[in-house]
Structure 1
Amino acid sequence: MRAARCEVHGTPDTIVIREVSDPVAGAGEVVVGVEAASVNFPDVLIAADRYQLSVPTPFTAGSEFAGRVLSVGADVGDLAPGDAVMGTALSGAFAERIAVPRSALSPVPAGLDMVHAAAFNVTYRTAYHAVTTFGALEPGNWVVVLGAAGGVGSAAVDIATRLGGRVIAAASTPERAEACRALGAVETIAYDSEDLKQRIKEITGTGAQVVIDPVGGAYSEQALRAIAWGGRFVCVGFAQGDIPRIPLNLVLLKGAIVRGFEIRTLASRLPAAVDKGRAEIECLVAQGMKPLVSEVYSLDEAPLALTRVAERRATGKIVIDISSR
């Protein structure tokens, strides 16, 4: 089978397309014929060996995919060849086939094709729990989403709007911020050219009740300074590359709650929240919710797709169509 391989840790342009052996399902595993795979920022970090977990080379890049079951191993009785599934793995998704534990898979929700299913699981589950489980969104709350034009950001705009939040989409440029209005944002801020703290206060009057931050860097503190008393600041990641140092006196003076959130460990730590979220997300999908997919590439173009995400030039999600040439 063909796969996008990381043979040495480095930048996306070091990824190469190789022929590798087909995977075989072991006990408790499923082999999926991958039809589409989405590109997430951690894929860039893993390739560069800058992620929280190190993956030794050589390996196949990619962490999120959708496709159909090809075969199942022993102890897997609830899936059969042909079933449409979506799933996640630390690596291996940018390939024609992948073997993963049964627990890594879930059915493709009705209403999503393979391209949108591949782009859905990580960003929408992350955004949902950032907004609700950790952000404690209440209808009418002002919600500031940093990096709002990115994958997690655009999903957070979508979900917060559908759950009754008044969303301020903050992105690097006016064009990227404006793209979020189609997802329901009521106001936008281009933070590379506007004063983020001042604009949040001008728009909200008293400050934002919720801030969702998948970006990090210098804008985190500005957003925290514009949070309302008792507001919730949810740290999701550091796409800008810099981990901010937050003055704790801001937290004290504002009575703010600062929470960190990482989707990888959520199921083991908060299983009830995961079950509740799964049911509510399925309801939202049935109502028409789906990811914003702005660019689709072939497997041969995987290095370019990763570069687009690394340079934060994508609006919404980038997907690799594994079947296209």
Structure 2
Amino acid sequence: MKAMLATVRAIGCNFPDILIVQGKYQKKPPLPFSPGVEVAGVVRATGPTARRFAPGDRVFALMGWGGYAEAVAVPERRVYRLPAAFGFDEGAAFGLVYQTSWCALVHRAGLRAGEWLLVHGAAGGVGLAAVQIGHALGARVIATAGTAEKLDVARQAGADVLVNYRTDDWVARVKEVTGGGADVIYDPVGGDVFDGSSKCIAFEGRLLVIGFAGGRIPEIAANRILLKNISVVGVHWGLYQERGSPLVDRWMADLLALVERGAVRPVVWKTFPLAQAAQALAAIAARESYGKVVLHP
């Protein structure tokens, strides 16, 4: 069997973890279950046909759920060698958000160097990954966030223009800065943010639907799509993994190449003991955190 058992040293927390425990996520595991889709740790044992790793190897892995644990059994195809530059915290904070953002920006939107990229929730897990990747690809990045501290985090990640959505008319600001709208808009928020994004998108712009952290699933009038030849593009990265798409490994190789160049690196806001997982998720839900929150078993 091509599987491996790993001792978990760090667990990445993500917004979907909140939804899945509330029964509001599109994936509903049978009870009882633990959340958690990404871990980093040390290989303890491998199945008889597993060949890529050996006991003692430092790895990170992506899972459907079950990562909030002291040890996990994972199919070998979902396990990757931890970069030498990463500790376990960075490894646990890397897989999901960087895969999602690469899939969105490169595969779904075809982001090109010199284009304007607007990233909402730019200091959050997926948002900060999108800022780093967009900057690495040569895009001009506009970051929105709700505090000066979070905007500074986005600036350090490579954002060129910073917009506080609580105090600024961000739709007008994007139009002013770009001179015609953003070419690609990365939206993990939905609701009013999606509505505003449809008003400041460029001709032939691509509006990426990443998620609905704001709570409301938005709608758009078809004539607005037609009038500016825009594309509203869904991004469900997990479906590529579930279907065993070879693209996932290709994207990971591209991302790890960026890591080697020093172009991207996860930002960990805070770590919590696994026993305080509820507090960790509450911090994410309350928008207290930036980057990633990590648990230690």
TM-score by length of 2: 0.95
Deviation track 1:231-284 (CA, whole Å, cap 9, x = no partner) reads 111111111121111122111111001110111122476946434423321221
CA distance in 2, matches of 1:137, 1:299: 38
Q: Which residue of 1 aligns with 2:59?
A: 85
Cα deviation 1:180-221 (Å, max 9, x = unaligned): 000110111121232221111011111111101111111112
C-alpha displacement of 1:173: 2.9
1:15-34 CA-partner distances (Å, limit 9, x unpaired): xxxxxxxxxxxx33211100
| C-alpha distance after superposition, 1:69-93 (max 9, x if no partner) | 1112232232211111111212211
Mapped partners of 1:251, 1:226: distance in 2? 12
Which aligned segments of 4 or more residues in structure 1 are displaced greater than 3 angstroms? 267-276
Higher mean displacement: 164-173 or 259-268: 259-268
User: Given residue 137 of structure 1, which amino acid in structure 2 is its aligned partner?
Assistant: L
Kindly indicate whether the alpha-carbon contact (under 8 Å) linking 1:133 and 1:273 is maintained by their aligned counterparts in 2: no
Alignment equivalent of 1:306, drawn from 281, 284, 291:
281
1:93-242 aligned at under 5 Å gives the runs: 93-242=67-216
Change in CA separation of 1:74 and 1:126 when aligned onto 2, cut-off 3 Å: same
Q: Compared with structure 1, are the counterparts of its residues 270 and 58 closer, same or farther at alpha carbon in structure 2 (3 Å cutoff)?
A: closer
TM-aligned CA deviation for residue 302 of structure 1: 1.2
- Segments of 5+ residues of structure 2 without an aligned counterpart are none
Which stretch of structure 1 is more off in the superposition, 151-160 or 79-88? 79-88
Query: What is the distance in 2 between the residues matched to 1:280 and 1:73?
Result: 28
Q: Tell me how far apart the structure 1 counterparts of residues 208 and 50 of structure 2 sit (CA, whole Å).
A: 37
1:173–1:193: 8 Å Cα contact kept in structure 2? no
| 1:145 to partner: Cα distance | 0.3
What's the % identity of the aligned pairs? 39
Q: Quick one: which amino acid aligns to residue 251 of structure 1?
A: I
CA shift at 1:170, angstroms? 0.9
**CA positional deviation for 1:61:** 2.5
Matched positions, count: 296
Aligned-pair Cα RMSD in Å:
1.6
Shift of the 159–91 alpha-carbon distance from structure 1 to 2, 3 Å rule, reads: same
For normalisation by structure 1, the TM-score amounts to: 0.87
Unaligned stretches of 5+ in structure 1?
A: 1-26
